[in-house]
Amino acid sequence: MSKKLFIETLGCAMNSRDSEHMIAELREKEGYETTDDLSVADLILINTCSVRERPVHKLFSELGGFNKKKKQGAKIGVCGCTASHLGEEIIKRAPYVNFVLGARNVSKICEVLHKDKAVEIDINYDESEFAFKDFRSSPFKAYINISIGCDKSCTFCIVPKTRGDEISIPDELILGEAKKVVAKGVKEIFLLGQNVNNYGRRFSGEHEKVNFTELLRRLSQIEGLERIRFTSPHPLHMDDEFIEEFAKNPKICKSMHMPLQSGSTKVLKEMKRGYSKEWFMNRVEKLRAECPDVSISTDIIVAFPGESDEDFEDTLDVVRRVKFDQLFSFKYSPRPETQAQHFTNVVDDEVASNRLSYLQGLNNEIIDEIHKKLVGNVYRVYFESLTKDNHVSGRSDNNVVIKVKGSEELLGEFKNVKITEIGRTILTGEIVA
């Protein structure tokens, strides 16, 4: 009988892909199969995120719960970004944890498995050319890493300290992976990197100069591949050539994530984002001029140290002018090993909460307004999952999530869908010819 693996994945798409990598390695090399039942697992992994503060005690109380429920002899491993930055401390505080594996070291999962109390958290480790075994959680779309780490030093962000310096994965490996998944029937790929449009800045070995725009061109030549998505691009690196290729290449989905973080040039400077409010607006205008149907999503941090009422007004101004199709907003959370944790001009927590709820209220109004206009529109939807209410859901090219009545036969199919009903996160429609 196969050994059983229970894996919990927190955080971003990069972590989901890392979990897929670990599942693949453990399956091929150690004979593990995944299970949703913790009590039957022989190995329990938690793939952690540390971008915002999740009180460390919550991780330890969860680990304590795992330890109580696990079957005799089962191993527990802590992986991902919190593993990278807490390291050995995890085993000191929870001695029943068998190993700690950093976000930059997931290729070593089968090694640490056999070394009790192993702590592998080297953020300089180069796994950019490691040939992972293959496992995909969806037969319809595939995540593909294009780089590891991040070369920026945004003052609020812990990622460069947990995932290390940026190294691009050679394009021939990326193209090879894309061709392989397309041959298996995948029609949509999702390229992943902390800063995708910085692609090609540095490879670990000698490599021809290929930037992100060129990588997109090469990928789009793969026959049978219909859609290319990616996350996250950095507003600073959105040059004209990139925006023009994005607009005119029919395989690139017309959905752009543009993490604003703040609309105030002063705060952006304190965050070391490298662009101003004007630059951001200029890029949005260029993008909308080249590609009128584009949907734009963003990330915003409110109450970064020193953010005044005027600075917050600047953020609201950008939100009102751009009208983002999706907005992820967070209250600033001081993180260890970042520059901003030492900033003393902290914003009062009540003010921070008020700003966050004001921003979210404004965004909800904008989304409702945008969605109202979509009724009657027809989109080409790629169906990828079943919902609990007997519907099948998928996305339009420009990332509108739409469900229709139906079942499995629709999965992996493209259909034209007319919007009949709106909701805040998912719209309902019917298939039309």
Among 3, 152, 269, 418, binds ligand SF4 (CB under 6 A): 152
If the CB atoms of residues 160 and 394 are measured against ligand 5AD, the closer one turns out to be 160
Shortest Å distance, C-beta 151 to ligand SF4: 8
Among 154, 267, 300, 359, binds ligand SF4 (CB under 6 A): 154
Token pair 């992986």 is found at 79
Shortest Å distance, C-beta 268 to ligand 5AD: 12
| CB 258, CB 284: distance < 8 Å | yes
Q: How many CB atoms lie within 10 A of CB 35?
A: 18
CA dist., res. 391 & res. 77, Å (int): 37
If the CB atoms of residues 14 and 381 are measured against ligand SF4, the closer one turns out to be 14
Backbone angles phi and psi of 193, in degrees to 5:
-170, 160
- Checking DSSP bridges between strand 99-102 and strand 75-80, what pairing results, if any? parallel
Q: Which does 333 bind (CB under 5 to 8 A by kind): ligand SF4, ligand 5AD, none?
A: ligand 5AD
User: Rule CB under 6 A: is residue 301 a binding residue for ligand 5AD?
Assistant: yes
Stretch that binds ligand 5AD, among 76-84, 277-285, 328-336, 416-424 (CB under 6 A): 328-336
If the CB atoms of residues 340 and 427 are measured against ligand 5AD, the closer one turns out to be 340
Contacts 24+ apart (CB under 8 A), 333-337: 333/52, 333/53, 334/53, 335/50, 335/51, 335/52, 335/53, 335/156, 335/157, 335/158, 336/85, 336/158, 337/85, 337/158, 337/161
| CB 119, CB 88: distance < 8 Å | yes
Q: Give the footprint of ligand 5AD on residues 373-392 (CB under 6 A).
A: none
Shortest Å distance, C-beta 347 to ligand 5AD: 12
Angle at CA of residue 354, ends 350 and 356, nearest 5°: 115
Among 59, 157, 178, 260, binds ligand SF4 (CB under 6 A): 157
Q: Give the footprint of ligand SF4 on residues 188-247 (CB under 6 A).
A: 194-195, 234
User: Rule CB under 6 A: is residue 52 a binding residue for ligand 5AD?
Assistant: yes
Is the C-alpha dihedral spanning 158, 161, 167, 169 positive or negative? negative
If the CB atoms of residues 159 and 174 are measured against ligand 5AD, the closer one turns out to be 159
- Checking DSSP bridges between strand 401-405 and strand 188-192, what pairing results, if any? unpaired
CA count, 13 A, side-chain hemisphere, 38: 14
Among 7, 159, 189, 319, binds ligand SF4 (CB under 6 A): 159
| 364, containing H or E segment | helix 349-372
Shortest Å distance, C-beta 31 to ligand SF4: 35
- Checking DSSP bridges between strand 3-9 and strand 32-34, what pairing results, if any? parallel
In DSSP terms, 394 is beta-bridged to 383, 402
Shortest Å distance, C-beta 154 to ligand SF4: 3
If the CB atoms of residues 75 and 335 are measured against ligand 5AD, the closer one turns out to be 335
Angle at CA of residue 12, ends 404 and 323, nearest 5°: 60
Q: Which two tokens stand for residue 315?
A: 């953020």
Q: Give the footprint of ligand 5AD on residues 146-185 (CB under 6 A).
A: 156-157
Angle at CA of residue 137, ends 132 and 142, nearest 5°: 70
Q: Give the footprint of ligand SF4 on residues 108-137 (CB under 6 A).
A: none
Q: How far is CA 254 from the centre of its chain?
A: 17
If the CB atoms of residues 84 and 396 are measured against ligand 5AD, the closer one turns out to be 84
Among 160, 164, 193, 200, binds ligand SF4 (CB under 6 A): 160
Stretch that binds ligand 5AD, among 143-151, 219-227, 237-245, 331-339 (CB under 6 A): 331-339
Q: Which does 104 bind (CB under 5 to 8 A by kind): ligand SF4, ligand 5AD, none?
A: none
Q: Which does 301 bind (CB under 5 to 8 A by kind): ligand 5AD, ligand SF4, none?
A: ligand 5AD
Binding site for ligand SF4 (CB under 6 A): 150, 152, 154, 157, 159-160, 194-195, 234
Binding site for ligand 5AD (CB under 6 A): 51-52, 156-157, 259, 261, 299, 301, 330, 332-333, 335
